[in-house]
């Protein structure tokens, strides 16, 4: 039986990734080679392509060999920016405007006397950057309990989110903190810093998942937003996260008529086309 395949309406690169790639392309044209501090995006195919174009990854500031370095769309802390400048390295800033908004929100909250709570994955570069903008008066977690146990927090709490988190989970987290904090004479300020592209992408992927037998979510295995998308879809249908077409297993499609396709924000159109071509063969 022939599989019917439908793509989610919001698919492929997001605005922030497209913008970062455009800035880098221009920088390579001007400077020849450019290094990015950390991976520009969490997608192996994109990184290989960038390497061919003369854009390499430096794992940390000490690792930068040239005199031009790009900050990824995930952004960095002000301390890292200063460290790069101290080495007289020119900065090409590709920080996504949505991430910048979260950094500025954290900075303003701290200046106004709030202890900042970031709903996010502690090890993610974006979250590390936002923590830096909150000057140490902050905590990143996805667990309400960690907030209750946090040392150094004040009665004034400012809550924001990593841009790529699932909105419903952020809401649940905020409710948990409100329940606890309002028994302690607290003042709470909540800033919704979830990216609008992520909201649309999650909503359209979920709509599609509800109409099909199986969902394929294409993107980097280490991409936070791709994993969140797969997690959402898996709540309503069998869902597989794949990075490349050759990861598809024919056994997944037994008894399946309709397949939905969604992608993370750093998944190139070519990879999506390769998956569609492989599905044709199946
Ligand atoms: S997912 Fe959103 S926040 Fe992240 S780079 Fe794309 S547009 Fe920016």
Which pLDDT tens digit goes with each residue over 200-220?
999 999 999 999 999 999 999
Q: What is the 181 CA–ligand 1 centroid distance (Å)?
A: 31
Q: Which of 248, 258, 209, 214 is nearest to 229 (CA)?
A: 209
Which are the catalytic amino acids? 126
3-state secondary structure of 116: strand
What's the chain's average pLDDT?
A: 94
Please tell me the predicted confidence (pLDDT) of residue 152.
Answer: 66
- The span from the CA of 163 to the CA of 78, in Å, is 19
pLDDT tens sequence across 265-278? 999 999 999 999 99
Q: Can you tell me which atom of ligand 1 is nearest the CA of 98?
A: 3
Residues lining ligand 1, CB < 6 A?
A: 14-17, 73, 96, 98-99, 163-164, 195, 197-198, 225, 265
Cα separation, 152 vs 123, in Å, equals: 21
Instruction: Report d(CA 108, CA 90) in Å as an integer.
Output: 27
Which regions in the chain score pLDDT beneath 70? 1, 151-153
Distance CA 43, CA 12 (A): 12
Identify the CA nearest to 201 among candidates 8, 5, 18: 8
Ligand 1 atom closest to the CA of 20, numbered from 1 = 5
pLDDT recorded at residue 136: 83
* CA 256 – ligand 1 centroid, Å: 33
Region of 187 (left: φ > 0; alpha: ψ -120 to 50; beta: rest) is beta
pLDDT at position 1, please?
A: 64
Whether the CA torsion 197, 202, 207, 211 is positive or negative: it is: positive
Which atom of ligand 1 is found nearest the CA of 17?
5
Nearest CA to ligand 1 atom 7: 16
The helix (run of H) or strand (run of E) holding residue 262 is strand 258-263
| Shortest-distance Cα residue to atom 2 of ligand 1 | 195
Pairwise CA distance, residues 49 & 5, whole Å = 28
How far is residue 219's CA from residue 145's CA, in Å, rounded to a whole number? Answer: 31
DSSP track, 153-199: --SEEEEEE-TTS-HHHHHHHHHHHHHHHTTTT-EEEE-----HHHH
pTM above 0.85, yes or no: yes
pLDDT number for residue 212? 98
In the prediction, which pLDDT does 245 show? 96
């Amino acid at each position: 039986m022939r599989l019917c395949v439908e793509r989610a309406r919001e698919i492929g690169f997001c605005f922030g990734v497209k913008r970062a790639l455009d800035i880098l392309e221009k920088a390579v044209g001007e400077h020849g080679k450019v290094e990015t501090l950390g991976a520009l995006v969490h997608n192996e195919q994109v990184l290989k392509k960038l390497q061919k174009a003369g854009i390499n990854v430096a794992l940390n500031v000490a690792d930068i060999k040239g005199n031009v370095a790009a900050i990824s769309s995930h952004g960095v802390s002000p301390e890292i920016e200063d460290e790069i400048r101290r080495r007289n390295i020119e900065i090409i800033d590709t920080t996504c405007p949505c991430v910048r908004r979260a950094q500025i929100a954290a900075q303003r909250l701290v200046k106004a006397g709030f202890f900042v709570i970031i709903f996010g994955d502690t090890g993610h570069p974006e979250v590390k950057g936002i923590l830096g903008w909150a000057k140490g008066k902050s905590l990143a977690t996805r667990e309400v309990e960690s907030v209750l146990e946090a040392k150094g927090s004040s009665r004034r709490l400012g809550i924001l989110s990593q841009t790529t988190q699932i909105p419903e989970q952020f809401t649940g987290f905020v409710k948990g903190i409100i329940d606890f904090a309002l028994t302690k004479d607290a003042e709470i300020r909540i800033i919704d810093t979830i990216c609008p592209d992520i909201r649309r992408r999650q909503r359209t992927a979920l709509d599609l998942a509800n109409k099909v037998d199986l969902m394929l979510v294409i993107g980097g295995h280490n991409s936070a937003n791709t994993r969140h998308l797969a997690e959402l879809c898996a709540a309503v249908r069998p869902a597989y996260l794949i990075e490349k077409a050759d990861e598809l297993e024919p056994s997944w499609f037994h008894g399946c008529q309709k397949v939905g396709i969604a992608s993370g924000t750093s998944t190139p159109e070519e990879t999506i086309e390769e998956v569609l071509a492989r599905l044709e063969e199946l």
